[in-house]
Amino acid sequence: MATLPAIGHKVSFTKVVTDADIRAFAQASGDDQPLHLDDGFGARTRFGKKIAHGMLSAGFISAALGTRLYPQGIVIYMGQSLQFRRPVGVGDTITAEVEVLTADAEKSVLTLRTDCTNQDGDVVTRGEATVMLDDLRS
């Protein structure tokens, strides 16, 4: 059985968003709308520029969970709620921080706060995740 991180335990993952990241996400997801890929189109929108897909920030949450939360085992994503609060653009530095809110030791299940902030400290994505932890087999 997994030894769970304590309530209040936090980990984070930080990445500078590049044009290549946005283009790769568009290619992988199939979401190639011009808001994400065309500078001229983005300039005519309420955002005044092209912006990253909201789910790209959610991917940074996944990176924090999968690579930082439980290095001695695996993290299995069970659910995620998200609110996209601010746009993210090329050159923004996004930090995904996750914090353990509840822990069910019997089921090895955690509920976590999942927030992404930009370089100015503004929350760009806010949510809550449920994950299951599993130890690696010998």
> What domains can be seen in the chain, in order of their start residue?
10-135 (3.10.129.10)
Its pTM stands at: 0.94
Rg, C-alpha atoms of the chain: 16
Backbone phi, psi, residue 96, to 5°: -95, 125
How high is the pLDDT of residue 137? 67
How high is the pLDDT of residue 136? 79
Encode pLDDT of 4-13 as tens digits.
999 999 999 9
How high is the pLDDT of residue 138? 57
Which residues of the chain fall below pLDDT 70?
A: 1-2, 137-138
How high is the pLDDT of residue 118? 98
Which residues, 6+ apart, have CB-to-CB distance to 94 below 8 Å? 14, 15, 16, 17, 57, 60, 88, 116, 117, 118, 124
